[in-house]
Chains A and B, each alone.
Chain A
């Protein structure tokens, strides 16, 4: 398959995955923080089309779960009680894309709740939490990568274009940043921040922390591209005609860095999603009850959860398709954009 078609394929895959997460309110049946205290640790419910008697139903259904006598968290399907899935059902309020108020959910049921991925310790629907949690984790990754790349772009362009002592100073600073033990620094940084922060503030703090961390590598890449670009004939010509530094950077040099930046973005986003997950897993991220992928996994720190409720691992699996998508996109981007770029012609151009 040619490079452009691979690229489009990855883009469509990623786009649809993100669309599902962005429209979590529609795709999930319940409010992610609504507790159902009677039903903790439901195992995932299976969707059926054929019932116990072997009859085929056109409408998919699940069997309600009943507690095994004498236990606290052992359920078994109650085959006498089937719960049909209702599509486009009115339920909990939410805001589509953050502003369109709505109550319509893709699916739902009357009475007994349908928990496709089970419930957690408080009886909250894991499927709803997973999709809503994706909003936080992915957005943190994307915003964090945006932050990092803008800092990297500014620093790299300044260092490469102006050169001399400025180059030296900026690049040495970047090296120091690369050498720091980041995870521990993140802990220290988070520990200094106020104790109780609202989920929104906590989210932006995470984004800022993650974003401020990773700029050194993209800055070095950008510097390399700028360094070679500024010596090219058309840039020299433009300078000869009296173009200002700002004009040169904007019109001729920075466009050359776009391929590097896009590729970097596709690599950095999954990395930063993982960083958010690490912070939240360790309790330094978005506070309860707001879900994020790291939060969802944090209950696995307890041995009893680890060995008793396998569906608590699902959020860890959820990131696999996303990461695969991003990394596939990154490599097809590289293939697609590389041939036109100049750094190949200048040995050592990429730092």
Chain B
């Protein structure tokens, strides 16, 4: 009973006051945690988690904007993906579409008309309701040429834009100019924008200037699980729970579970690993195989997961651009070899893909012979040959292609072309990507066995891209692409001869070769094919043509490697981006204690 006396008076007042504050509802609970009667919420299956806590993730670099209309960098898109939502969403685990803001959708018999019905009771993260006008506004902005939205290209089919009209307050009809093989996957990633915030800036032509990271939290809204809370330049971006989010778990608890999601900005992958190792961040992905094994070896309170083969494909390609007068005599001479299909086939036969998987990915990867990465479950051509490495075959192919060898004094042989000139060229790689630099060094040694002298030139990624797509002053290059979706159309710019990432000879006015024209034709047909089987058949053929002509020599595909603290629940990394945050609304913190002390 003396204990009460021991506490000074002012402390007692303070304690009493804080008790009152604790009993008051916090800002996050102003909106009911349980579903309202007229709301049509999406119920997510899976483990029921615990509400509260904070998730911390390290981001490699700072996002440039929160505005989906101008975001071009991956960091911005990663953050925007969490703050915004789309009509139809591709489930990262099943790789199939599922309903999102759209409760349902119907495709007309001719495949040209998509009727989309919105969920009832949807609200933006600032509490403003969403209706068909927001959807109409969104697509008007995306399609407006003066806005320069990156989404515009996706909505132009066969040179004509998609048209959108409203049936009623919750129903929208999309009219496609021609059939589009991708179907409703088209809507994935197209954020529905808040008309009440953007209409005025749009009319004033100021859309590009809003949605910066410095935007006040109440001036920005989205439909994603988290909304903006705080941004500290150079340090972190903190998001808080969107109280109006439209998903619940099976028990009817409104998602997301976590109160806060913080992104810490770090300069590179190694810093990401260090932060994770020291317990400052909760999840990490994607990881390089070497860092993965470092973390696996000293596991302390976290679990490392190999999610299996991903959608990244790494490849070597040669400069096949038709440069005409502009090409230096040196490059023109080299291009004569590169254009020889036997030369490219020989190179492919000589590359030791198993060694790449073992030495670069420490076995956590898959050798690759085609453009479809093994993580893509539905679209790979199973009949594609996987010839093992054979220097013998490579030499035979080179001989057939008119190459010969000369023997030096020290027993090393040099490959000579038909003019008896030695075959030498350089291979560009990105200096910031240690994996690809390693691949290039291995390939260099493979080439040495054939008598080809290759130099590896590490280059800063932007100048590398500039050389490959703009100036076209290079011999060969090792690069990688990670598809954002399993559907082949996500890589259409790689396939089509007119595509900007048709790397060996980008943005052609007319297909340079007969087989490129054939791939273009197959892709055109595939676009308007209605069934999966039809599309798959055309796509299989395109893969065969590519394997035959080897414009890209495919090397290997890494597994998606991720890690999470043991205290993070519902951690199920997927092989599609964003690898661990795709189900961010379901991630939860198991023990509140551990996180509170940080």
Contact = CB atoms under 8 A, between A and B. Distances in A.
B332 interface: no
Contact of B444 (A288, A303, A307): A288
B359 A283 contact: no
A93 to B, nearest CB: 6
Q: Which 9 pairs of residues, A with B, have the shortest CB-CB distance?
A: A196-B426, A304-B290, A303-B270, A72-B362, A37-B355, A196-B455, A196-B457, A304-B294, A304-B291
Interface stretch (B434-442, B551-559, B589-597): B434-442
Interface in A92-122: 93, 95, 101, 121-122
Contacts of A303: 270, 273-274, 291, 294
Most B Cβ at <10 Å: residue of A123, A288, A302, A305: A288
Contacts of B456: 287-288
A302 B290 contact: yes
Interface in B349-397: 352, 355, 358-359, 362-363
Nearest to A302: B434
Most B Cβ at <10 Å: residue of A72, A123, A283: A72
B457 A121 contact: no
A150 interface: no
A198 interface: yes
30 contacts: A35-B442, A37-B442, A72-B293, A72-B363, A73-B293, A73-B362, A122-B438, A122-B445, A195-B459, A196-B457, A196-B475, A197-B455, A198-B455, A287-B455, A287-B456, A288-B441, A288-B444, A289-B444, A289-B445, A302-B270, A302-B434, A303-B273, A303-B274, A303-B291, A304-B270, A304-B288, A304-B290, A304-B294, A308-B290, A308-B294
B37 interface: no
A91 interface: no
A40 interface: yes
Contacts of A307: 294
B458 interface: yes
Nearest to A35: B445
For chain B, give the interface size range. Answer: 20 to 34
Given A121-B438, A303-B274, A287 B457 contact: yes
Interface in B234-251: none
B159 interface: no
Contacts of A101: 410
Nearest to A37: B355
Given A122-B359, A196-B455, A289-B444, A37 B293 contact: no
Contacts of A196: 426, 455, 457, 475
A48 B428 CA distance: 44
A122 B441 contact: yes
Interface of A: 33, 35, 37, 40, 72-73, 93, 95, 101, 121-123, 195-198, 283, 287-289, 302-305, 307-308
B411 interface: yes
A35 B356 CA distance: 13
A283 B291 CA distance: 22
B431 interface: yes
Nearest to B473: A195
Interface of B: 270, 273-274, 288, 290-291, 293-294, 297, 352, 355, 358-359, 362-363, 410-411, 426, 428, 431, 434, 438, 441-442, 444-445, 455-459, 475
B363 A93 contact: no
* Binding site secondary structure of chain A: loop
Given A73-B293, A195-B459, A289-B441, 5 more contacts: A40-B359, A95-B410, A123-B359, A304-B273, A308-B294
A95 B410 CA distance: 9
A123 B441 CA distance: 12
Nearest to A40: B359
A287 B431 CA distance: 13
A37 B434 contact: no
Nearest to A196: B426
A11 B555 CA distance: 52
A37 B459 CA distance: 25
Contacts of B434: 302
B443 to A, nearest CB: 11
Contacts of A33: 445
A302 B271 CA distance: 10
A195 B355 contact: no
Contacts, number: 70
A118 B442 CA distance: 19
Contacts of B457: 195-196, 287
Contacts of A195: 426, 428, 457, 459
A145 to B, nearest CB: 28
Contacts of B273: 303-304
Nearest to A101: B410
A308 B270 CA distance: 13
A264 B100 CA distance: 74
Contacts of B445: 33, 35, 122, 289
B562 to A, nearest CB: 16
Most B Cβ at <10 Å: residue of A40, A73, A287, A303: A303
Nearest to A72: B362
A320 B393 CA distance: 49
A289 B445 CA distance: 9
A122 B442 contact: yes
A178 B174 CA distance: 69
A303 B271 CA distance: 9
A123 B359 CA distance: 9
A37 B294 contact: no
A157 B434 CA distance: 49
Contacts of B291: 303-304
Contacts of B355: 37
Nearest to A308: B294
Contacts of A283: 431, 458
Contacts of B352: 37
Contacts of A289: 441, 444-445
A300 to B, nearest CB: 11
Nearest to B270: A303
B534 to A, nearest CB: 43
Nearest to B288: A304
B373 to A, nearest CB: 22
A302 B434 CA distance: 8
A84 B428 CA distance: 43
Nearest to A304: B290
A304 B441 contact: no
A90 B426 CA distance: 34
A53 to B, nearest CB: 33
Nearest to B455: A196
A40 B297 CA distance: 17
Nearest to B427: A196
B412 to A, nearest CB: 9
A326 B457 CA distance: 34
A121 B434 CA distance: 11
A123 B428 CA distance: 23
Contacts of B290: 302, 304-305, 308
A304 B475 CA distance: 31
Contacts of A304: 270, 273, 288, 290-291, 293-294
A37 B358 contact: yes
A260 to B, nearest CB: 41
A73 B360 CA distance: 12
B78 to A, nearest CB: 22
A72 B441 CA distance: 20
Most A Cβ at <10 Å: residue of B270, B358, B455, B456: B455
B426 to A, nearest CB: 3
Most B Cβ at <10 Å: residue of A121, A195, A307: A195
A192 to B, nearest CB: 13
Contacts of A123: 359
B306 to A, nearest CB: 13
A303 B438 CA distance: 15
B430 to A, nearest CB: 12
B274 A93 contact: no
A125 B482 CA distance: 34
A303 B475 CA distance: 31
A35 B411 CA distance: 18
